[in-house]
Amino acid sequence: MVDPVKKAPPDEKELRAKEEAQRAKLGQHLKAVDGWIVNLIDPELGAVGQAFRKATDSIIDHEDLDFQLKPSAVYHSFRYLANPGQTSFSNYVLYGMEALDSRERLLGARTHEFVHALQYHSSAALHADPFNEASSLIVSPYDYILRKERLEQDAYVKGAWLCSLATGDAPGVIDAMKGSPLPVTTFQDIRAQSGSLQEAFVKAARDTRNLLGVWQKDAEKSVIADEWHARALEEYEHIIQMRIDSGEKITFVRLSSEDILDVGGSFGPNTFGTDANDPALTRIENLSAENAKKLAEINTKIGIYDRDLLPTLDQALGMAGTTRAAYLDASKKHVGPPRPDAPAQNDNHVNSTTAFTPKAPKPPAP
């Protein structure tokens, strides 16, 4: 038998040439996607595509291709710890190799992640984040879960809405997004049965949260919100332990209804309505027994025994003698301080991202 011919591994020059070609392809795809976005017209609101591009053009710090990234795209909010002179608010979007396969899929990914960027750009509550070294005010574990759910509801609803307006220029977006927690066709059906776009957003947000599906190959069906909650708990436990071990003085806060409405008002109609007195805004409707147990464990570990006794973000800011606007501005501008005992460039900092990686399937019961 003749031995197969083995190909020599590509040298550095070949690899770089391939990467640059892939980046060029991404650039071509993004140009096409931008053309679709600019053309978006909503029957109620008019030229929303132009407004969306105008709102996002100046706030995204960086876009690039990540050759190891599995999802189509992720939004990076904060880095902990920031390098000396580097902002802790990273505010950039990375695209995975999957983004090169379909311009329509890239449209869905880009609108979703850009909504996240708008959320973090305008909402002070999102900067009370355990990954944000600029803030000693940090949301409680419960509120971090709540926030994760609301962030994703808002991004999926608005992403599906924007994609639904692109079906004339990009009809393939319907098939490309059919695996989303909120498919374009589902949003279209909800809107057709609603009296207004605002009403459709509120209904669609609930539909997204309660959707039952398979989020990882060969796993059993699960509710998407359960997966969001589990990821949030895993993130929170890891980063908060790092901050406690470093000796930081932390003030835990809870979110108010106004904080949630800030998130929902990232672009277009508010995904969560307009009633700040609605107690459902700050209530997690369904928390699995497993996630509830994990939440209780983390609360005990960090000394939170009654969330209702925690100050709201506004109360904590008032006690610190500052305002939401000033707090948000300072957080965006914060840079990592000199650290004599650390290397000049810390490549081991932890990034907070929107990458959705469901838990591995549980082994079968014995």
For residues 139 and 129, is the Cβ–Cβ distance under 8 A? yes
Average pLDDT, the chain: 89
What pTM did the predictor assign?
0.90
Neighbouring C-beta atoms of residue 27, cutoff 10 Å: 12
d(CA 58, CA 315) in angstroms, rounded, equals 31
* Residues 39-54: tens digit of each pLDDT: 999 999 999 999 999 9
Predicted local confidence at residue 12, as pLDDT: 84
For residues 129 and 138, is the Cβ–Cβ distance under 8 A? yes
Predicted local confidence at residue 92, as pLDDT: 92
Predicted local confidence at residue 98, as pLDDT: 85
Q: How confident is the model at residue 363 (pLDDT cuts 50, 70, 90)?
A: very low
Q: How confident is the model at residue 323 (pLDDT cuts 50, 70, 90)?
A: very high
d(CA 74, CA 180) in angstroms, rounded, equals 15
* Residues 267-282: tens digit of each pLDDT: 999 999 999 999 999 9
Q: Is 127 a residue whose pLDDT tops 60?
A: yes
* Residues 84-104: tens digit of each pLDDT: 999 999 999 999 988 888 999
For residues 274 and 199, is the Cβ–Cβ distance under 8 A? no
What residues contact 65, with CB distance under 8 A and at least 6 apart? 19, 22, 23, 26, 94, 95, 96, 97, 99, 100
Q: Is 303 a residue whose pLDDT tops 60?
A: yes
Predicted local confidence at residue 352, as pLDDT: 74
Range with lowest mean pLDDT among 6-10, 257-261, 294-298: 6-10
Q: How confident is the model at residue 347 (pLDDT cuts 50, 70, 90)?
A: low
Q: How confident is the model at residue 360 (pLDDT cuts 50, 70, 90)?
A: very low
Q: Is 365 a residue whose pLDDT tops 50?
A: no
* Residues 185-234: tens digit of each pLDDT: 999 999 999 999 999 999 999 888 776 655 555 667 677 888 899 999 99
Range with lowest mean pLDDT among 165-179, 284-298, 342-356: 342-356
- The β-bridge relationship of strands 137-139 and 222-223 is unpaired
**Average pLDDT over every residue of 262-270:** 96
Q: How confident is the model at residue 11 (pLDDT cuts 50, 70, 90)?
A: confident
Sketch the domain layout of the chain as residue ranges. 22-353
For residues 103 and 170, is the Cβ–Cβ distance under 8 A? yes
CA distances, 266 to each of 73, 143, 253 (Å): 19, 19, 22
Among positive and negative, which fits the CA dihedral 122, 128, 132, 134? positive
Q: Is 364 a residue whose pLDDT tops 50?
A: no
